[in-house]
A and B are shown apart, each in its own frame.
Chain A
Amino acid sequence: MPNSVPPSTSQKLSLWRRLTDWGATGFAILAAVLVIVPLMAIFVYLLIKGIGSVNLAFLTQTPKPPGELGGGMANGIIGTGLILLVASGLGIPLGIGSGIYLAEYGRNRFGDMIRFTADVLNGVPSIVVGITVYSLIVVRQKHFSAFSGGVALGIMMIPTVARATEEMLLMVPNVVREAAFGLGIPRWRTTLSITLRTASAGVITGCMLAFARVAGETAPLLFTAFGNQFWNLKLNQPTAALSLQVFTYAISPYDDWHKQAWAGALILILLIVGAVAAVRIVTSRGTLKGA
């Protein structure tokens, strides 16, 4: 049977095919570079512009009135901490509880529905969550509050924590549970002390991811925590938050505030990275070594 692939044709096309191969490789490398450049740029600017403005005053003082130089974001740092405390108090228990449900009790239609609902919740734009909490809490209480801000962020934490918990629990082999049952340990004890403990590293990572994600959120706080020029440690008062302050200062017309916005952003990023790092250290040290 004659070979009907003419050598001349394959020679000519080779050039075009070679060119597209090179071109595609070049484009892929270019894409990788183009994606990483903004990342580097952001971190570099944060460092350069932020470091200059982070000083003792910044870390310990509250904002000065607009137009006056000086002051700091100390109340924002504390405020963020307060709000995140409330958020974690809501988001982590409900998230882990839902995750336990999905993994241990919910391998059925109802569980599918809950799983779907959690995904829906995950996709709700953060500003819409803000509207809802405003409606539910702020309007009823007739004032903005750190509490409502925490609730908004806590709601946003739930799906991430739940999904991570479910995944980690499912990875624990059934024989572990069966061994516990075989020893006569009741189901609730097994789930908490044995299954969950085995999966703890992954669950903690999930909580940390959720925490890092909401730490930087601004939109839901716009009409819940609202912000505050002064110190506040009360849950039922409006509170400053680092992300809110960065926003307000960034869009202001004052140069000094712009500098402080960079400083605030740097602190915020450090907070997020710090949370990630701290959990990595704790979980890998063996204090809470998981499966």
Chain B
Amino acid sequence: MGVGIEVRGLKAWYGKNESLHGIDMSVPANHVTAVIGPSGCGKSTFVRCLNRMHETIPEAYAEGSVKVGEMDVYGGGSDPVEVRRRIGMVFQKPNPFPTMSIFDNVAAGLKLNGFRNRKQIAELVERSLKLAALWEEVKDSLHKKSGASLSGGQQQRLCIARALAVEPEVLLMDEPASALDPISTSKIEELIFQLKQHYTVVIVTHNMQQAARVAELTGFFLMGNLIEYDKTEKIFTTPADKRTEDYVTGRFG
């Protein structure tokens, strides 16, 4: 089951540049929340702060409070390795491991976390691929084909399966379909819709129609600030802030 995310006063820096200026946001469990905004508004930075990926960039750091369920992400005793295991991430450009088979790709996270029982691993791999709606397409060539030999859309679903295999509580998706063709995109969107039963999903997207299609809640970011955060329907039909209205009606962005 998914958990909720509580963000209070989240600030982020790239070296001396403050790129997020204190974000407060409550992401409810088992919902899909979209994060939208123009290029450079900080939406990707925000999401990458949730699983402490932001700090892997040299000279980048973040401050503030992020609670994922009971886990205090930036708390004193918190370990980034553990945080990242419990929060899954899917990236803009599908990045399967080219030297590994499909099976090994999905099992990668499990092997890292010390799983040794082959039967257990095989079960979890199958479960993850089914959750990612890829099982039927690859079940006969799990060990024969490499992760990189699949089509773009399949690769992205493989990356989703890989992320799900270690059973995160939250799934972060950074523009997961922007590198894909329309058919693969709609498959991914269907998938997201189903995933929310088990996980809390936060998806960054520059495609407003996509946000409208998959997300129940949407947050609009602009220049490092969260301008408006509400039900998706409201954001797109009767936004409270003028800047939000300008963005969703296409006046800039």
Query: Are the chains A and B members of one assembly?
Result: yes
Interface residues of A, Cβ cutoff 8 Å to B: 1, 3-5, 9-10, 13-14, 17
The answer to whether B167 and A5 touch across the interface, beta carbons within 8 angstroms, is yes
- Tell which of B82, B124, B169 touches A10, judged by Cβ atoms closer than 8 Å: B82
When chains A and B are docked, how far (Å) is the Cα of A1 from the Cα of B196? 12
B198 touches A1 (CB 8 A): yes
| CB atoms of B114 and A9 under 8 A apart | yes
Residue from A1, A3, A5 in contact with B113 in the complex, judged by beta carbons closer than 8 Å? A5
Q: How far is the CA of A28 from the CA of B89 in the complex (A)?
A: 29
Report the minimum CB–CB distance from B121 to chain A (whole Å): 11
By size class, the interface of chain B is 10 to 19
Q: B166: CB under 8 A from chain A?
A: yes
Is A13 within 8 A of B113, CB to CB?
A: yes
Query: Complex Cα distance A174/B166, Å?
Result: 51
B1 interfacial by beta-carbon distance below 8 Å:
yes
- The proximity string for B residues 71-92 relative to A, scoring 1 for CB distances below 8 Å and 0 otherwise, is 0000000010110010000000
Q: Given A3-B167, A5-B167, check contact A10 B1 (CB 8 Å).
A: no
CA distance A5 to B169 in the complex (A): 11
* Residue contacts A-B, CB under 8 angstroms, 24 given: A1-B1, A1-B167, A1-B198, A3-B167, A3-B169, A4-B124, A4-B167, A5-B85, A5-B113, A5-B166, A5-B167, A9-B113, A9-B114, A10-B82, A10-B85, A10-B113, A10-B114, A13-B113, A13-B114, A14-B79, A14-B81, A14-B82, A17-B81, A17-B114
| Complex interface: chain A residues within 8 A of B198 (CB) | 1
Q: How far is the CB of A12 from chain B (nearest CB, A)?
A: 8
Question: Which residues of A lie under 8 Å from residue B113 when comparing CB positions?
Answer: 5, 9-10, 13
Interface positions, chain B 2-22, Cβ under 8 Å from A, are none
Residues of B within 8 A of A5 (CB): 85, 113, 166-167
